Structure 1
Amino acid sequence: MSEAPKPGSYAQTDPTIVASYPTTLPSATPVSRKKPTLASFSLEGKTAVITGGARGLGYVMTQALVESGADVAIVDLNGDEAAKAASRLLEQWKSENTDADKLPVITSHKADVSNAADVDRVFAEILAAHNNHVDTLVTSAGLCENFPAEQYPPDRLQYIMSVNVNGTYYFAAALAKHLIAVKKPGSMVFIGSMSGAIVNIPQPQAPYNASKAAVRHLASSFAVEWAQYGIRVNCISPGYMLTDLTKRILEERPELGEKWRSLTPVGRMGDPKDLMGAVVYLSSDAAGFVTGAELRVDGGYTVT
């Protein structure tokens, strides 16, 4: 019986293996390959409704949608502020672009998102203003209040739920009805909060936290229910953001800012512009296989 070759010694024990290989290798032949491309992040050809789009985070996200090519309908409880926001965004676009043929359509609308009848009214108004073409929704309208849980006024409890939860539901249902009727796909981005998954400290805000948890789960539920119609539904959950309102609060209570920053791994609060990429991504075809997802933009707060 011949001795088994030692590991790594095949060339010595079986010269036929060596003989089977050429002594010189042929030069490499270039392979023609198609350059890889990503799905489009452009929102050209899309029309987006954004609630609470006149101020704060909503305005910055509206700006992102316009800069990415979308037509937009700004909905706000303050109709004058919505009109000013639309005018400001249009003037900004003109100052940065020279192609008049691609001038975006930016309309403003006044509505109470907590009132179902008002939502139906304004959605019909938006469809008329945009040639019956709406395929994208961003629900940024919302409010937050701080009361100890045992002292929360019942009327305020009802109101915060009506705006944050019902308002999201009413607008989502309005767009879904439209898209199902015209047999077109669409995208919805709900603005939740990291407060839907954690309990903020030191401020007491139990109803707000509960409302954002509901928004988060509405996105998941609608994503499953409406997937058959080609409607994607996702949720962005921001962390602490330095909006104008937050800045005013921190001027009076700077210790809150110190606490919030200390609990955020990146060591700072978010800039509203940190949400621009997130809302464009989830609204665009680049996220065509993304639905029922929650994208947390919180500087790592919720993973510590």
Structure 2
Amino acid sequence: IKSIALTADVSKPEDVQRMVDTIVARWGTVHIACNNAGINMNSASEDTSLEEWDKTFNVNLRGLFLCCQAAGRIMLNQGYGKIINTASMASLIVPHPQKQLAYNASKAGVVKLTQTLGTEWIDRGVNVNCISPGIVDTPLIRSKDLRPLVRRWLGDIPAGRLAQATDLQAAVVYLASEASDYMTGHNLVIEGGQSLW
């Protein structure tokens, strides 16, 4: 597998364009784009500063838009491409007990952006879909301080466990493959049933 690592601030158009230009210079085109950058800063709604709101939206929604647009232009020109965005089950429900107004609103925006691009670009060969993971078991949430919160979350998940990265991988492969050619603008929810309660 040949790969390249690039550092970029997805909220800056010039960084996004440099990233895409580097990929095109190396491999000639872009067939698949998976937009997964995101941040979350937990604040009560009445305490959410404009700075927190802007920072969250700059990465989660503006950055995703810029990446979709830069990759999408290449894909539209060649008549083929797959874009997979990462939203969140927070686009469907208000996760609790944590307070995360800016995150929830930005991820709802990711779903609507995905739906809009999905309808605009499908007839030109570009599929745009998103996944909405539940809470994923990563080192970030294994701290001692978060253990009570994790126990609370587990009580809200019918599957009785947090998502593993492997639970998301097959969905991304499906959305990147020709098997999903007739799917566009879809929000594939992978959260162990948590949004059903």
TM (norm. structure 1) is 0.63
Secondary structure of residue in 2 paired with 1:253: helix
Paired amino acid for 1:106: S
1:224-263 paired onto structure 2 within 5 Å: 224-248=119-143, 251-263=144-156
For residues 208-265 of structure 1, the C-alpha deviation after alignment (integer angstroms, 9 at most, x for no partner) is 00000000111000000111211001010000111111112xx213211111000000
1:127 aligns with 2:24: yes
Paired amino acid for 1:236: I
1:175-190 paired onto structure 2 within 5 Å: 175-181=71-77, 183-190=78-85
- Which residue in 2 is equivalent to 1:141? 37
Which of 1 and 2 has higher RCO (CA within 8 Å, sep 6+)?
2
Task: List 4+ stretches of structure 1 deviating above 3 A.
Answer: none
For residues 42-77 of structure 1, the C-alpha deviation after alignment (integer angstroms, 9 at most, x for no partner) is xxxxxxxxxxxxxxxxxxxxxxxxxxxxxxxxxxxx
Secondary structure of residue in 1 paired with 2:117: helix
Share of identical aligned residues, percent?
33
Question: Greater share of helix residues, 1 or 2?
Answer: 2
Shift of 1:180: 2.1
- Matches of 2:66 and 2:172 in 1, distance apart? 20
- Which residue in 2 is equivalent to 1:277? 170
Shift of 1:134: 1.1
1:155 aligns with 2:51: yes
**Given that residues 107 and 129 in structure 1 are in contact (C-alpha distance below 8 angstroms), is that contact kept between their aligned partners in structure 2?**
no
**Given that residues 127 and 133 in structure 1 are in contact (C-alpha distance below 8 angstroms), is that contact kept between their aligned partners in structure 2?**
yes
Shift of 1:153: 2.1
1:193 aligns with 2:93: no
1:1-304 paired onto structure 2 within 5 Å: 104-130=1-27, 132-181=28-77, 183-248=78-143, 251-304=144-197
- Matches of 2:194 and 2:146 in 1, distance apart? 21
Paired amino acid for 2:53: L
- Matches of 2:82 and 2:29 in 1, distance apart? 13
For residues 121-149 of structure 1, the C-alpha deviation after alignment (integer angstroms, 9 at most, x for no partner) is 2211111111x121101111001110111
- Matches of 2:76 and 2:162 in 1, distance apart? 40
| Unmatched 5+ stretches in structure 1 | 1-103
For residues 90-130 of structure 1, the C-alpha deviation after alignment (integer angstroms, 9 at most, x for no partner) is xxxxxxxxxxxxxx221111110011121112211111111
For residues 154-185 of structure 1, the C-alpha deviation after alignment (integer angstroms, 9 at most, x for no partner) is 2121011000001110010001111222x231
Larger Rg: 1
- Matches of 1:281 and 1:170 in 2, distance apart? 24
TM (norm. structure 2) is 0.97
- Matches of 2:83 and 2:101 in 1, distance apart? 26
